[in-house]
């Protein structure tokens, strides 16, 4: 009887050990890294650092980002556009920040198909990656910049002048300041670790994209990192 009891006890202990492992499977250095500088005011968020001219950012947004975030409703999705990447990066950031504020004021999720932000972002994604549009490849030329704005704002009933005016709003400026407009900003700080897209949980933990094997595992990693303190 004692032999059977010992085997049972060992079995329970083994199950408990396995349960402990499965409760937190993400491994530092393999699945995520801690950022040297914590992004402020980011508790309860998943920040995505991206650029309109990044092909992998486009692929993630087409097939992964929304379904993964749908599995972690307790987390807020926060986009950070990387201004320093792409010749029209500055203009893209201003456009996208303006659209984010429009969505916020309308109570629309950035991931919703009705989102102004999402429409402008995908206008740029599709033009750059699918149609190979480069808008003259020179952002110092005003005609090229006008063309870039026209592409981004297609179907949004706004002009470049509207965006320029809206960009002065303090809410828009808050987004731009959070992202950073140069190499000293948080978006660049994150991107320099592994490039983009880059996903950061609670402003502290950068998920290594090479470890993302699917939507379910991605969502599980987000949940696990959210439990870390």
The enclosing domain of 55 has a CATH number of 3.40.30.10
Q: Environment class of residue 122 by beta-carbon count within 10 Å: exposed (0-12), middle (13-18) or buried (19+)?
A: middle
Segment 10-37 shows an average pLDDT of 66
Strand order in the sheet with 205-207: 32-34, 205-207, 198-201, 45-50, 76-81
What number of other Cβ atoms are within 10 A of residue 144's Cβ? 18
Which residue(s) pair with 34 in the sheet? 205
Angle at 99 between CA 95 and CA 105, to 5 degrees: 150
Q: Is residue 9 part of a domain?
A: no
Segment 82-111 shows an average pLDDT of 98
Number of domains in the chain: 1
Angle at 100 between CA 224 and CA 172, to 5 degrees: 110
Binned at pLDDT 50, 70 and 90, residue 104 comes out as very high
Q: Is residue 173 part of a domain?
A: yes
Lowest mean pLDDT among 23-32, 56-65, 149-158, 176-185: 23-32
Q: Is residue 15 part of a domain?
A: no
Q: How far apart are CA 53 and CA 132, in angstroms?
A: 10
Q: What are phi and psi of 113, to 5 degrees?
A: -65, -20
Q: Is residue 3 part of a domain?
A: no
Residue 15: both structure tokens together: 């199950």
Verify cis geometry, omega within 30 degrees of 0, for the bond prior to 27: no
**Is the Cβ–Cβ distance between 48 and 198 less than 8 Å?**
yes
State residue 25's pLDDT score.
82
Q: Is residue 214 part of a domain?
A: yes
Q: Is residue 103 part of a domain?
A: yes
Q: Is residue 136 part of a domain?
A: yes
Q: What are phi and psi of 19, to 5 degrees?
A: -60, -40
Binned at pLDDT 50, 70 and 90, residue 57 comes out as very high
State residue 117's pLDDT score.
98
Average pLDDT, the chain: 91
State residue 229's pLDDT score.
73
State residue 24's pLDDT score.
54
Helix (H) or strand (E) holding 141: none
Say which residue, 217 or 20, is predicted with more confidence.
217
Q: Is residue 21 part of a domain?
A: no
Which of these, 104, 74, 86, 89, lies nearest to 170 by C-alpha position? 104
Lowest mean pLDDT among 15-24, 39-48, 110-119, 170-179: 15-24
Residue 193 domain boundaries: 27-227
């Amino acid at each position: 009887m004692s032999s059977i009891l010992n085997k049972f006890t060992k079995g329970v202990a083994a199950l408990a050990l396995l349960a402990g492992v499965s409760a937190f499977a993400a491994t530092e250095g393999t699945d995520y890294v801690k950022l040297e500088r914590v992004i402020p005011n980011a508790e309860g968020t998943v920040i995505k650092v991206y650029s309109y001219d990044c092909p992998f950012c486009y692929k993630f947004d087409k097939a992964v980002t929304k379904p993964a975030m749908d599995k972690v409703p307790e987390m807020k999705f926060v986009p950070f556009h990387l201004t320093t990447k792409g010749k029209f990066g500055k203009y893209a950031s201003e456009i996208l920040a303006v659209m984010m504020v429009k969505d916020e004021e309308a109570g629309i999720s950035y991931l919703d198909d009705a989102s102004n932000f999402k429409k402008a972002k995908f206008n740029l994604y599709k033009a750059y990656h699918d149609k190979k549009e480069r808008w003259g490849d020179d952002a110092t030329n005003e005609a090229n910049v006008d063309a870039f704005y026209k592409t981004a704002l297609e179907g949004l009933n706004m002009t470049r002048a509207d965006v320029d005016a809206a960009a002065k709003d303090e809410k828009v400026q808050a987004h731009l300041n959070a992202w950073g407009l140069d190499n000293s900003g948080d978006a660049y700080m994150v991107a320099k670790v592994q490039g983009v897209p880059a996903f950061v949980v609670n402003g502290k933990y950068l998920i290594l994209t090479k470890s993302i094997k699917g939507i379910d595992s991605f969502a599980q990693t987000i949940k696990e990192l959210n439990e870390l303190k």
